[in-house]
Chain A
Amino acid sequence: MKKTNVYFKVGLVVLMVGLLLTMAACSKKKPAADPMETYPSESQMGTEADQQAAAARAVAEEELAAQRLEEEEAARMAAQEAARMTEEAKMQFVNEDVYFNFDDASLSADARMVLKNKVAWLRENPNASVLVEGHCDERGTAEYNIALGQRRAESVKTFMVNAGIGASRINTISYGEERPVDVAGNEAAWAKNRRAHFKILN
Chain B
Amino acid sequence: MLVGFLWVTPFAALAEYDYINISDPFLNKIPVAAPVFKNLSPDSPSPEMAVQAADLLSRSLEFTGYFKMIDRAAFLEDLSVKGITGPDIKFDNWRSIGAELLITGGITAADNYLQIEFRLFDTFKSELLFGKRYKGRSDDLRKIVLRFCSEVVHRLTGKRGIYESAIAFVSTTTGNKEIFICDFDGHDVRQVTRTGSLTLFPAWSPDGLSIAYTSYQNDMPEIFIRRLEDATERRISYKGINITPVWVPGTQQMAATLSFEGDEEIYLLTETGKIDKRVTKNWGIDVSPSFSPDGRKMVFVSKRFGNPQIFIQDLATGAVRRLTYEGKYNTQPDWSPAGDWIAYSGMENGQSDIFIIRPDGEDVKQLTRDSGSNESPAWSPDGSMIAFCSNRTGTSRIYIMTASGTDQRVLVSLDGKQTDPAWSPSFKEY
Contacts and interface: CB of A to CB of B under 8 A. Distances in A.
A142 B329 contact: no
A178 B257 contact: no
B347 A142 contact: no
Interface string B328-339: 010110000000
Nearest to A178: B198
B285 A154 contact: no
Interface residues of A, number: 18
A96 interface: no
A150 B240 contact: yes
Given A150-B259, A173-B220, A142 B200 contact: yes
B308 interface: yes
B291 to A, nearest CB: 16
Interface string B206-243: 00000000101001110000000000000000001101
A143 B262 contact: no
A150 B419 CA distance: 21
Contact of B332 (A143, A151, A173): A143
Contacts of B350: 139
Contact of B264 (A103, A151, A172): A151
A150 B262 CA distance: 9
A94 B57 CA distance: 59
Interface string B274-315: 000000000001011000000000000101000110000000
A178 B259 CA distance: 19
Given A150-B259, A151-B285, A174-B241, A142 B419 contact: yes
Nearest to B288: A143
Interface in B350-385: 350, 352, 375-376
Contacts of B420: 142
Interface residues of B, number: 35
Contacts of B216: 175
Contact of B308 (A103, A173, A174): A103
A103 B306 CA distance: 9
Nearest to B219: A173
A146 B375 CA distance: 15
A23 interface: no
B201 interface: yes
B332 A147 contact: no
B49 to A, nearest CB: 43
Contacts of A5: none
Interface in A95-147: 103, 139-144, 146-147
Contacts of A144: 285, 287-288, 301, 308, 331-332
Interface string A164-175: 000000001111
A154 B329 CA distance: 22
Interface string A145-165: 011101100100000000000
B241 A140 contact: no
**CB-CB nearest 6 A-B residue pairs:** A147-B264, A147-B285, A141-B331, A139-B350, A147-B287, A144-B331
Given A103-B308, A146-B221, 6 more contacts: A139-B347, A141-B376, A142-B419, A143-B301, A150-B241, A150-B264
27 contacts: A103-B329, A139-B347, A139-B350, A140-B331, A140-B347, A141-B345, A141-B376, A142-B200, A142-B376, A143-B243, A143-B257, A144-B285, A144-B288, A146-B214, A146-B243, A147-B241, A147-B257, A147-B264, A147-B287, A150-B240, A150-B241, A154-B259, A154-B262, A174-B241, A175-B216, A178-B177, A178-B198
Interface of B: 177, 198, 200-201, 214, 216, 219-221, 240-241, 243-244, 257, 259, 262, 264, 285, 287-288, 301, 303, 307-308, 329, 331-332, 345, 347, 350, 352, 375-376, 419-420
